[in-house]
Amino acid sequence: MSGESNEHAFLVSHLTDFVTKRHGCGGNLALYFDDQMYGRERPQRIGSYLPDLYAEDVPRTFVVIGEAKTHLDLISTRSRRQLGTFLRYLALYDAAFFYLAVPTLAKPAATTLVRELGCRHEGVKVQILTTDIEY
C-alpha cells in the first residue's frame, strides 16, 4: 500500500475494521494487510496480485479477501483482472468472502463490476462496502 493515496488508505482502514468486527470475534483471526507502516506481515500474492487484505481463521474454516478501490482505479482493466483472479481463488474454498471497499459515489460502478465478475463464482459471498456502511 506504500505510495497509495490517502483515499485508498482510508478505504483499507475501513475494510480492516469491518473484517475484524465481522470475522474476528472468536479471537482466532489471522489478518494480513498491505501496509508495512504498522509492521504487520503482508498478504501473499494471489496470481500476480497482492490483495489489500487477506484473512482466515485458525484452524481455517473460511477465507476472506478484501480490496479497496478508488473510483478511477475501479474502472481500470487491471482491476477487473485482479478482482477476477481473487474471486477464482476464493471459489476454491467452501466458505469464502470477498469485500470491496469503494467511495460511496463509486458503488454503482462497483456493483456492475462485481455482478459481471461474480456470476461465475457463486459460492463466494461478495459485499461492497462504502464509508456509509453500518456494522
The domains of the chain, with CATH numbers, are 6-129 (3.40.1350.60)
Stated pTM of the model:
0.88
The pLDDT value recorded for residue 116 is: 87
Q: Provide the strand spans (E) within the chain.
A: 29-33, 53-57, 63-68, 96-101, 124-129
In the predicted model, what is the mean pLDDT of the chain?
86
Rounded to 10 deg, the angle between the 77-90 and 107-118 helix axes is: 50
Share of the chain above pLDDT 70, in %: 85
Average pLDDT over residues 48-62: 92
**pLDDT greater than 80 at residue 26:** no
